[in-house]
Amino acid sequence: MSQPVLTLNQLNRLIKDTINSSFADTVYFVAEINAISVNRTGHCYIDLIEKSDDGDNIIAQLRATIWAGTFRMIKPYFESVTGEPLRAGIKIMACGQVTFHEVYGMSVNITGITPEYTLGEMALQRKATIDKLSSDGVIDMNKDLALPLLVKNIAVISSSQAAGYGDFVNQLNNNPRGYKFFTYLFEASMQGTEAENSIIHQLERISRHANKFDCIALIRGGGSKADLSCFDKYLLCLHLCQIPLPVITGIGHERDESVADIVANTALKTPTAVAQFIIDRAEQCERMVDDQVSRIKNALHNYILRKQTLLDRIEHNIVANMRLCIQRNRNRLNTTVRSIGMKMHSKVNERQIQVESLNAQIELNNPTNILRKGYSYTMHNGKPVMNASMLSKGDTITTVFFNGAAESTVTNTDNH
């Protein structure tokens, strides 16, 4: 062969010389941290990657080192500006020296990181999530769900060890009004690389039992922006949009607003605020019930008064009508009595006249009066003599006059 054959060491030295001469100056680059670790001496080792536009494939990878002295300056500055530590999953803009070592291969020795780029990149990712949810037409789906005024059964997504969860439960259970609430914890990791998938898993579990709950409380206490970054992830927020229960968020401190807060039915700042919100709604519901009961009582009272007034009017009318009827009947009775009395008086008078007429006739036919006129009557054996055939010759008869009587003997009778 005319071409010289190099040993591996010679080849690596040649590569080293070429790289060192080509990258003599500091280079600036953008990459995503895939993994990061700090050893006991304080040196920081980073695995840098670049992903394809769709985010599914790694198209470039490089090792980087931040020596301990430099890392002690870079770390606090980066955290003070961004509010989060250097961690896997964030993009950085860094500068440093490209180096090649015969044994350890190529790497970059980072001498500086621009935290403002990371802040901008996080904001861009957040905006991209919001824009995609909007273009998908789902960003307001959870907000459009009706949150019951009285929330009794609550599916809670949190970590059982989180102080925020304890604050939420204590606030809810020790409310001064003594309201009773049912909470069921769907425990999830609330920070780190596994948080998004952990929360999504619990959302899917809740969806299968949605009819048992009034709402979902997604809560965790405060933390760095890195701790809360999972709540800006598209897939998690997509699940929050589409779940069939209203979601109430209590994530982070007062200054924080995540995409999860934006898409949730109701966004509050802390777990305690979520608990108080639920208690306040229960109190509002109680007031509404009390007001409704009061309105019903007043309506019933007014109804009874109206009916009582109507009954009094009816009673008055009945009494008045009865009195009028009684008076009319009394008048009719009096008229009838007077009519009967007049008729009876007339009849009595008529009968009296008849009696007087009869008395007059009787008086006229009285034998005494007849005798007074010169008539007499004959008695034989105490019986009046009606005709001559009743007598025989020799009978003694008595002739009665108006004044006195005379006896005589029959000497002859004429019976024709």
> In terms of domains, do 273 and 153 share one?
yes
Which CATH number do you get for residue 22?
2.40.50.140
Measured CA to CA, the distance from residue 272 to residue 164 in angstroms comes to 7
> In terms of domains, do 277 and 395 share one?
no
Which CATH number do you get for residue 174?
3.40.50.2300
314 lies in a domain? no
> In terms of domains, do 153 and 279 share one?
yes
Tally of CB atoms within 10 A around 286: 13
- Does pLDDT of 282 surpass 90? yes
141 lies in a domain? no
- What's the whole-model pTM score? 0.57
- Does pLDDT of 404 surpass 60? yes
- Does pLDDT of 362 surpass 60? yes
Taking residues 137-151, report their average pLDDT.
93
Q: Which strands, in side-by-side order, build the sheet including 404-409?
A: 383-384, 377-380, 396-401, 404-409
Q: Decide which of 106, 134, 162 is a domain's last residue.
A: 134
Q: Burial code of 120-157, b = ≥16 C-beta within 10 A, e = fewer?
A: ebbeebbeebbeebeeeebbebbbeeebeeebbebbbb
> In terms of domains, do 122 and 164 share one?
no
Q: Which of 240, 243, 244, 279 is nearest to 261 (CA)?
A: 240
319 lies in a domain? no
Sign of CA dihedral 340, 343, 346, 348: negative
Taking residues 149-156, report their average pLDDT.
94
- Does pLDDT of 219 surpass 70? yes
264 lies in a domain? yes
Backbone φ and ψ of 4, nearest 5°: -65, 145
> In terms of domains, do 96 and 159 share one?
no
Measured CA to CA, the distance from residue 140 to residue 172 in angstroms comes to 28
- Does pLDDT of 24 surpass 60? yes
> In terms of domains, do 83 and 208 share one?
no
Taking residues 304-316, report their average pLDDT.
90
The domain in which residue 233 lies consists of 149-284
Sign of CA dihedral 314, 316, 321, 326: positive
Rounded to 10 deg, the angle between the 115-135 and 68-82 helix axes is: 40
295 lies in a domain? no
240 lies in a domain? yes
Going by pLDDT thresholds of 50, 70 and 90, the confidence category of residue 15 is confident
Per the structure block, which two tokens stand in for 213?
A: 């709950």
State residue 103's pLDDT score: 77
State residue 135's pLDDT score: 92
Identify which has the larger pLDDT, 248 or 90. 248
103 lies in a domain? yes
Q: Are 202 and 187 in contact (CB under 8 A)?
A: yes
Report pLDDT digits (tens) over 84-112: 788 888 888 999 988 887 777 788 999 99
Report pLDDT digits (tens) over 72-82: 999 999 888 87
> In terms of domains, do 124 and 199 share one?
no
CA angle 356, 362, 366 (to 5 degrees): 140
Sign of CA dihedral 366, 368, 370, 372: negative
Going by pLDDT thresholds of 50, 70 and 90, the confidence category of residue 225 is low
How does the average pLDDT of the chain come out, rounded? 86
79 lies in a domain? yes
Going by pLDDT thresholds of 50, 70 and 90, the confidence category of residue 47 is very high
> In terms of domains, do 103 and 177 share one?
no
Q: Decide which of 89, 111, 134 is a domain's last residue.
A: 134
Q: Are 103 and 9 in contact (CB under 8 A)?
A: no
CA atoms within 13 A on the CB side of 405: 11
Identify which has the larger pLDDT, 318 or 368. 318
End-to-end CA distance of the chain: 216
Longest dimension (CA), the chain: 228
Q: Decide which of 134, 159, 180 is a domain's last residue.
A: 134
> In terms of domains, do 206 and 252 share one?
yes
Q: Which of 152, 115, 171, 132 is nearest to 54 (CA)?
A: 132
> In terms of domains, do 98 and 205 share one?
no
- Does pLDDT of 229 surpass 70? yes
* HEC assignment per residue over the chain: CCCCCCCHHHHHHHHHHHHHHHCCCCEEEEEEEEEEEECCCCCEEEEEEEECCCCCCEEEEEEEEECHHHHHHHHHHHHHHHCCCCCCCCEEEEEEEEEEECCCEEEEEEEEEEHHHHHHHHHHHHHHHHHHHHHCCCCCCCCCCCCCCCCCEEEEEECCCCHHHHHHHHHHHCCCCCCCCEEEEEECCCCCCCHHHHHHHHHHHHHHCHHHCCEEEEEECCCCHHHHHHHHCHHHHHHHHHCCCCEEEEECCCCCCCHHHHHCCEEECCHHHHHHHHHHHHHHHHHHHHHHHHHHHHHHHHHHHHHHHHHHHHHHHHHHHHHHHHHHHHHHHHHHHHHHHHHHHHHHHHHHHHHHHHHHHHHHHCHHHHHHCCCCEEEECCEECCCHHHCCCCCEEEEEECCEEEEEECCCCCCC
State residue 410's pLDDT score: 82
Q: Which of 411, 375, 413, 374 is nearest to 396 (CA)?
A: 411
> In terms of domains, do 85 and 23 share one?
yes
Q: Are 219 and 157 in contact (CB under 8 A)?
A: yes
> In terms of domains, do 86 and 40 share one?
yes
Tally of CB atoms within 10 A around 203: 22
State residue 256's pLDDT score: 60
Going by pLDDT thresholds of 50, 70 and 90, the confidence category of residue 222 is low
Domain count, the chain: 3
